């Protein structure tokens, strides 16, 4: 039966290091649908009909069909009666939105706005939490989820953060500037007065770990209070603090030799926890003046101006 083939296929790929949790669920759902349809083999028509129902966007339809096509290709090698859906017809390029790069003045205004959020009795840490969170994100380039997952044991001696099992199942060490370490220590002293037994660094009402919904709601209030891009159709995001960090790190690099530029990119890519360096190069494409700076350095190198 197809469901048994799914289990065999997923087990084989997991043995090779893939997680495939979502793929497993979707393929099981698809094969149950196919069996109810009377199919003993994978049929393109069945795959197209099923993905049209379960997928709400062209992008998700493409991904679901790609998963079925990979599975079908695996079975087709054993039994040519299995059809392989041509999922490439449904490919739509993903356009990443241009990041909003906060100015130094805007960051100062945001920190001031966070420190002056309306006081809430059930959450005496509110002002301190959001000011520290924004400051930490701006100074380290952490993902929001990485900051919210921090526990007290992840604050290592010497001002180093231990970021555990993140987006790509990788752990890394993130050193902090001395000013950030001092701010974090001050925050922890306030936290110690009101926190309960939970060891998450950032807590909300009742001493519970802070969720993304709470963070985004407070961040929108901070943007309004700080008057950050009020007329912009697409409001800046808290994730843009990460983009701002990466952009400033590249802008402030004065290395002009080719090998130095490459080393800077590798260091930044590692610091940010990118799975592939191409994700770091995206900051050049997203920020035209950075592309111009690198292009200018390359021209000088080619002309022999730079040794």
| 181-230 per-position pLDDT tens digit | 999 999 999 998 877 788 999 988 777 888 889 899 999 999 999 999 98
Q: Answer yes or no: is pLDDT of 261 > 60.
A: no
* DSSP H stretches of helix in the chain: 2-15, 21-36, 44-54, 58-76, 104-115, 126-140, 144-148, 178-194, 212-226, 240-251, 258-272, 278-286, 288-302
| Residue 19: active-site member | no
Q: What is the pTM of this model?
A: 0.66
Give a yes or no: residue 97 inside a domain. Answer: no
Question: Is the domain of 174 the same as that of 116?
Answer: yes
The C-alpha angle 108, 113, 117, rounded to 5 degrees, equals 155
Question: Is the domain of 193 the same as that of 291?
Answer: no
| Residue 239: active-site member | yes
Of 180 and 284, more confident: 180
At residue 273, the 3 state secondary structure works out as coil
| Residue 143: active-site member | yes
Question: Is the domain of 158 the same as that of 205?
Answer: yes
Question: Is the domain of 206 the same as that of 112?
Answer: yes
Give a yes or no: residue 130 inside a domain. Answer: yes
pLDDT at 118: 75
Choosing from 43, 242, 243, 271, the catalytic residue is: 242
Q: Which of 191, 226, 261 is the last residue of a domain?
A: 226
Question: Is the domain of 84 the same as that of 110?
Answer: no
Choosing from 162, 172, 239, 248, the catalytic residue is: 239
Give a yes or no: residue 261 inside a domain. Answer: yes
The C-alpha angle 152, 158, 159, rounded to 5 degrees, equals 55
pLDDT at 306: 45
Choosing from 143, 191, 200, 243, the catalytic residue is: 143
Domains held by the chain: number: 3
Of 170 and 307, more confident: 170
Question: Is the domain of 188 the same as that of 111?
Answer: yes
Give a yes or no: residue 247 inside a domain. Answer: no
Q: Which of 67, 90, 113 is the last residue of a domain?
A: 90
Find the domain containing 30 and state its range. Answer: 2-90
Question: Is the domain of 222 the same as that of 113?
Answer: yes
Choosing from 9, 62, 100, 283, the catalytic residue is: 283
Average pLDDT over residues 25-45: 94
* CATH number, residue 165: 1.10.443.10
Question: Is the domain of 122 the same as that of 166?
Answer: yes
Give a yes or no: residue 159 inside a domain. Answer: yes
| Residue 76: active-site member | no
Q: Answer yes or no: is pLDDT of 17 > 90.
A: no
Q: Which of 178, 210, 226 is the last residue of a domain?
A: 226
CB atoms within 10 A of CB 193: 8
Give a yes or no: residue 234 inside a domain. Answer: no
Give a yes or no: residue 146 inside a domain. Answer: yes
Give a yes or no: residue 195 inside a domain. Answer: yes
Choosing from 8, 88, 151, 167, the catalytic residue is: 167
Question: Is the domain of 76 the same as that of 111?
Answer: no
What's the rounded Cα separation, in Å, for the pair 23 and 219?
Answer: 33
Average pLDDT over residues 253-261: 53
What's the rounded Cα separation, in Å, for the pair 246 and 238?
Answer: 14
Question: Is the domain of 55 the same as that of 135?
Answer: no
């Amino acid at each position: 039966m197809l469901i048994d083939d799914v289990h065999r296929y997923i087990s084989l790929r997991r043995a090779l290091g893939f997680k495939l949790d979502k793929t497993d669920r979707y393929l099981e759902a698809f094969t149950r649908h196919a069996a109810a349809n009377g199919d003993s083999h994978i049929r393109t028509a069945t795959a197209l009909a099923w993905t049209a129902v379960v997928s709400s966007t062209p992008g998700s339809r493409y991904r679901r069909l790609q998963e079925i096509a990979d599975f079908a290709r695996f079975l087709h090698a054993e039994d040519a009666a299995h059809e392989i859906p041509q999922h490439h017809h449904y490919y739509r390029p993903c356009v990443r939105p241009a990041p909003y790069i906060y100015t130094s003045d805007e960051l100062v205004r945001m920190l001031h706005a966070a420190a002056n959020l309306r006081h809430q009795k059930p959450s005496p840490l509110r002002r301190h939490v959001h000011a520290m969170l924004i400051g930490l994100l701006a100074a380290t380039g952490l993902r929001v989820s990485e900051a919210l997952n921090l526990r007290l044991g992840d604050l290592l001696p010497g001002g180093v953060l231990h970021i555990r099992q993140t987006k790509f199942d990788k752990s890394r060490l993130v050193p902090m500037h001395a000013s950030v370490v001092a701010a974090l220590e001050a925050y922890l002293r306030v936290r110690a007065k009101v926190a309960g037994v939970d060891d998450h660094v950032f807590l909300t009402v009742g001493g519970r770990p802070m969720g993304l919904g709470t963070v985004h709601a407070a961040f929108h209030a901070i943007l309004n209070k700080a008057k950050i891009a009020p007329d912009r159709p697409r409001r800046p995001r808290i994730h843009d603090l990460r983009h701002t960090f990466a952009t400033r790190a590249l802008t402030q690099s004065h290395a002009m030799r080719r090998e130095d530029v490459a080393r800077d990119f590798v260091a930044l890519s590692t610091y940010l926890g990118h799975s592939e360096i191409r994700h770091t190069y995206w900051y050049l494409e997203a920020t035209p003046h950075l592309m111009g700076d690198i292009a200018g350095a390359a021209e000088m190198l080619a002309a022999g101006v730079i040794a």
